[in-house]
Chain A
Amino acid sequence: MSESTAPIQSASKSAAAIDRAKAAGRKALIAYLPAGYPDKQTSIDAAIAVARNGADIIEIGIPYSDPVMDGSVIQAATTEALANGFRVADVFDIVAAVTAETDAAVLVMTYWNPVDRMGVDEFSRRLAEAGGAGLITPDLIPDEAAEWFAASDKYGLDRVFLVAPSSTPERVAMTVEATRGFVYAVSIMGVTGARTSVSSAAEAVVAAAHNAGAERACVGLGVSRPEHVREIAAYADGVIVGTALVAALRDGGVAAVGALAKELSTGFDVPSTSNTEALTQ
């Protein structure tokens, strides 16, 4: 395997996806779906459907036994995926399949221990080989990420860290500096889950990230409706949707999750008088 000597910054697949959306006059739609839910092939089909219906970046979540940042919908889905025999190595097949079939950048979202167990370098090498863009790490802060810095540099992978409403300016600056791809702005102090409105804290978190020099900051947690997408698009570079899509997949299968992605992406359209209230999930 040859190691890239190109400047890492320009190699960011997720940054490129966000920039493509921007060039098209909108913001990026980022869609989370769990690997192996309800089974491996369906999770591939669902991710492809979402990418073909407006998602610029796909986050493939690795089901984990102790998902402390997840609410009940995603917990139930990932628990089911594990019960159905999901293995961590399956995620590379899923990433490769989605990358081959779509133009979306594909990130893996994972709690840290599965990566640690496989070995950070080994995991990174296989992710890069599969065409993955990088990792989103909800329980890995830059302070503990020395191994991940080395591996992500070696394999040209994005490292998406989170900033929260509780992050101090010093921590926001440190996290922005450590990040490659985009900064994940947590909209609310809480776990994943659809909420009726998006916290007003989100705008401040994005502003803090931008002020600290982040070129791209995307908002996640609690986003479930086209009007949320519209609201966030006014100040952020991308909008992250998870729970609502997982619920759609649960209730209506691949067709439903594709349809919801399409509805959500209408949030980027010029505000109109059309009623989007009914499109909730």
Chain B
Amino acid sequence: MVDPATAFLQGGAAAPEFSPEHSLRHAPGPYFGSYGGRWMPESLIAALDELEDTFEKARVDPEFLAEIAELNKNYSGRPSLLTEAKNFSKHAGGARVFLKREDLNHTGSHKINNVLGQALLAKRMGKTRIIAETGAGQHGVASATAAALLGLECVVYMGAEDCRRQALNVARMQLLGATVVPVTNGSQTLKDAINDALRDWVANVESTHYVLGTVSGSHPFPAMVRFFHEVIGEEARGQILEQIGRLPDALCACIGGGSNAIGLFHAFLDDPSVKIFGFEAGGDGVETGRHAAAITLGRTGVLHGARSYLMQDDDGQTVESHSISAGLDYPSVGPEHSYLADIGRVGYEPITDSEAMEAFRLLSQTEGIIPAIESSHALAGAIKVGQRLTADAAKAEDVVIIVNLSGRGDKDVETAAAWFGMLDDDGHVKGTTLSTRTAKGAAPAADENTEDATHE
């Protein structure tokens, strides 16, 4: 059998009909080239085997697929729109830019696709409790949502530092009935939340399914989470063919663990005319060391159950990542991305915080869409890709780019307000503290400080 990567690079995958062994699609795991695998404690192997077995049966079970389709349509609101960003286009060299609107899904991001699938699998396995890790809170909110819908107990592990940065999402999860556990180990961010979720899973594996939020971790997670997100690319492919009658020239998506990206990319992996780009969080700049660009950094290792690109020091200790985007603030990346990087099918580049925030501002003000800061990395990438591709094109508008707008920016308003200097020294939005009215409903106590009135 010809290695699919070799076949692709030799042009073997260019034919419209692919034999399965020449395809980069539907890679089953556990390995993607030399990446992936199961670098996990023996205690969890039985649970991973059970999950793999349940998933492999479900993915070909018409009843399960119908359940997913029904929830996607009538609960999440799929298919999500493909919106042409006609004003934003001029910032991308005049290329036509289409946004895959995962921000319009219920709970505000692509995360719901995976969570509904895994929660249904948890029920099939007879588990009554799900646990999840979360960074910015989007995956935690989606998990809490699915748990509420399907009648499962839900515990979300969240770094104490992230809890502080995303207090509103902590409240959202609690309102949905979930328990949020602040993690005070290590750097108190996403990777430490995953560590504590794994510790919980080892101890409670009989009753509990771990709903991992991205395409990393042990087999079957990378292939399974991708499966639940493939709908993004399948829809986008159909929509772009319908709207312009041909495939796009390029795809752009942001990469943390890489779930939204692989979801979009998958449908186009076997189309050599489609250039594919993943944008990692460059933080303050890769040269500063304060970033989350694992592939760009180029060292492989094992973390959280998979071999992949990994930010680590000379001793193999995980290095803390940095990004303005909590959702991209993860020191590794899904193993399939590492493979796609090595074979050259997908180009991975870093986007700095500044570049991402400029794209955030541009989309908000030219299209009336406030993107998540994660997705803003993809938009900043599209600006670069558009400028590059249009430079070589006869007509700029002949260049077509699809950007995965993986989430909406409501959760990021406070971060953005601070970034753009909209806050005063006390952290209030400037100009919002001038009212002299007594708060509505305040008790008429004559000699009490009215500031306390709303606490009653």
Contact = CB atoms under 8 A, between A and B. Distances in A.
Interface string A81-101: 010000110000000000000
A175 B46 CA distance: 14
A166 B47 contact: yes
Given A69-B202, A112-B39, A141-B40, A118 B316 contact: yes
B318 A65 contact: yes
Contacts of A189: 43, 202-206
B45 interface: yes
Nearest to A87: B315
Contact of B42 (A64, A88, A116, A167): A167
A186 B205 CA distance: 15
A66 B42 contact: no
A149 B316 CA distance: 20
A148 to B, nearest CB: 12
Interface in B300-333: 301-305, 310, 312, 314-318
Interface in B189-239: 191-192, 195, 198-199, 202-206
A114 interface: yes
Contact of A117 (B202, B304, B314): B314
A121 interface: no
A253 interface: no
B46 A167 contact: yes
A171 interface: yes
Given A189-B202, A191-B202, A64 B40 contact: no
Interface residues of A, number: 39
A69 B305 CA distance: 12
Report the contact-size class of chain B (Cβ under 8 Å from the partner). Answer: 35 or more
B186 A79 contact: yes
A73 interface: no
The B interface, classified by DSSP as helix, strand, loop or mixed, is mixed
A66 B316 contact: no
Contact of A168 (B46, B185, B195, B302): B46
Interface string B21-54: 0000000000000000111111111110100000
Given A65-B186, A186-B42, A189-B205, A113 B191 contact: no
Contacts of A141: 38-42, 45
B400 to A, nearest CB: 42
With most chain B CB atoms within 10 A of its CB, the pick from A64, A66, A161, A168 is A66
Given A117-B315, A117-B316, A171 B45 contact: yes
B42 A68 contact: no
Nearest to A68: B198
A114 B318 CA distance: 10
B312 to A, nearest CB: 6
Contacts of A138: 41
Nearest to A86: B315
A175 B316 CA distance: 26
Interface in B31-79: 37-47, 49
Interface in A158-181: 161-168, 171, 175
Contacts of A87: 315
Given A116-B301, A141-B38, A164-B43, A68 B317 contact: no
Contacts of A168: 46, 49
Given A138-B41, A144-B38, A190 B312 contact: no
Contacts of B317: 64-65, 82, 114
Nearest to B204: A189
Contact of A113 (B41, B44, B185, B303): B303
A72 B44 CA distance: 20
Contact of A66 (B47, B203, B304): B304
A66 B45 contact: no
A153 B305 CA distance: 25
B195 A67 contact: yes
A167 B46 CA distance: 6
A166 B40 CA distance: 14
A162 B316 contact: no
Contacts of B47: 166
B199 A191 contact: yes
B301 A113 contact: yes
Given A117-B316, A166-B46, A68 B203 contact: no
A190 B45 contact: no
Contacts of B41: 68-69, 138-139, 141, 162, 164
A75 interface: yes
Contacts of B195: 66-68
Contacts of B304: 66, 68
Interface string A134-165: 00001111011000000000000000011111
Given A67-B195, A118-B316, A191-B199, A113 B45 contact: no
Given A66-B304, A191-B199, A191-B203, A114 B43 contact: no
B42 A163 contact: yes
Given A64-B316, A71-B199, 4 more contacts: A69-B202, A113-B312, A141-B40, A162-B43
12 contacts: A64-B317, A66-B191, A66-B303, A69-B199, A112-B39, A117-B315, A138-B41, A139-B302, A166-B205, A168-B46, A171-B46, A189-B202
Interface of A: 64-69, 71, 75, 79, 82, 87-88, 112-118, 138-141, 143-144, 161-168, 171, 175, 186, 189-191
Interface of B: 37-47, 49, 185-186, 191-192, 195, 198-199, 202-206, 301-305, 310, 312, 314-318
A-B residue pairs, 6 tightest by C-beta: A117-B316, A114-B316, A164-B43, A166-B46, A190-B203, A113-B316
